[in-house]
Amino acid sequence: MRLRCAVLDDFQDAALGSADWSPVEDRVEVVIFRDHLTDEDELAARLADFDIVVTLRERVRFPAALLDRLPRLRLLVASGMRNSVIDYAAAERNGVTVCGTASSSTPPVELTWALLLGLARDLVAENTALRTGGPWQSSVGADLNGRRLGLLGLGKIGARVAQVGLAFGMRVSAWSQNLTKERADEVGVELVASKEELLRTSDFVSIHLKLGDRTRGLVGAAELALFKPSAYLVNTSRAAIVDQDALLAALHEGRIAGAGLDVFDVEPLPAGHPVRTAPRLLATPHLGYVSQSNYATYYSHAVEDIQAFLAGEPVRRLG
């Protein structure tokens, strides 16, 4: 009898077309789910008959309470090599092997710039007006050349965002709690002395930090009050780094020029969520990692993970 594999949250129906699943089809029945469940009882019922689960990023939480209710589960594959919503101790206790996949930093870099450019030139409003018979030119775009781009975080993604900013002729500065002058010099950007200085002096602020105890709520009401009224904030990292209520207040009151968001406190966003109707906001539904190349990597590595598990030699183990 073949094992059963659930592929979760395949919103675009892309999983089967992004990789060759034939190496495991004789031993594994793959079932695709295109909807998203958050209720633990519903998840437990849906996954009760599956031996393998493939989950994208951190969309679905796997706490101990859920893992304890899935006695048939033996392999959990999560895209990427870091996942904060899986209880690894509970997985081990339940005999569940957890594996990951490679992931490219290029797609989130590109989306960061899509949001930043869209904000600067008010592309959504201008495109909507053009297509609906609205006014011909209703905004005056913000320049990038000569303006300051402030980066919270200068890791792999932040450094690549910096390179694009430099190519646009921007003055690029960066800050994080562990950032050194040597690292800033290596990337070719200015190290500022404090978070407050970066926020006060930047025309565009982009966040590229990992979420942890030190970064949760890093940008709140006090920090947003430091922004220039003409400045923009972009967050393609983790929603909890920014106080969402404080940001919504700043947008509604016009205290910053705008924000670009790809991450949210609740995902998918409920239909009536206030983010959906906030002014001065350009938002995308967590598309940072969603690209053809990344999906090809995620799902082809998922197949490899399943093959290796079936052979008794798991690869890319997490936890």
Of 20, 46, 25, the residue nearest 35 (C-alpha): 46
Positive or negative, the CA dihedral 190, 210, 242, 287 is positive
**Residue 1: per-residue pLDDT:** 85
Catalytic annotation on 160?
no
CB 282 within 8 A of CB 257: no
pLDDT at 271: 94
pLDDT value of residue 107: 97
* Residue 208 is among the residues annotated as catalytic for this protein: no
Say if strands 258-261 and 232-235 run parallel, antiparallel, or are unpaired.
parallel
218, 195 contact by CB (below 8 A): yes
pLDDT score for 245: 97
What is the C-alpha separation between 205 and 173, in angstroms, rounded? 10
Amino acid letter, 18: S
Please give the structure tokens belonging to residue 187: 């990337």
Question: Which is the catalytic residue, given 267, 280, 316, 317?
Answer: 267
Count other Cβ atoms within 10 Å, centred on residue 190.
16
Q: Is 252 a catalytic residue?
A: no
Phi, psi of 175 (to 5 degrees): -155, 140
**Of the residues 59, 238, 301, 304, which is catalytic?**
238
Give the separation between CA 155 and CA 71, rounded to whole angstroms.
Answer: 39
Which residue has tokens 């694009």? 164
Is the CB of residue 73 less than 8 Å from the CB of residue 67?
yes
Instruction: Please give the radius of gyration of the chain, using alpha carbons only, rounded to the nearest integer.
Output: 22
> What pLDDT is attached to residue 233?
98
pLDDT in tens, the chain (319 residues): 899 999 999 999 999 999 999 999 999 999 999 999 999 999 999 999 999 999 999 999 999 999 999 999 999 999 999 999 999 999 999 999 999 999 999 999 999 999 999 999 999 999 999 999 999 999 999 999 999 999 999 999 999 999 999 999 999 999 999 999 999 999 999 999 999 999 999 999 999 999 999 999 999 999 999 999 999 999 999 999 999 999 999 999 999 999 999 999 999 999 999 999 999 999 999 999 999 999 999 999 999 999 999 999 999 999 9
Task: State the Cα–Cα distance between residues 45 and 49, nearest whole angstrom.
Answer: 8
Which residue is it, tokens 């609740």?
266
CA distance 46 to 49: 7
Count of residues in the chain: 319
Nearest to residue 153, comparing CAs of 215, 91, 95, 100?
A: 215
302/234 Cα distance (integer angstroms)? 31
List the catalytic residue out of 58, 286, 301, 304.
286
Return the pLDDT at 272.
95
311, two tokens: 């052979």
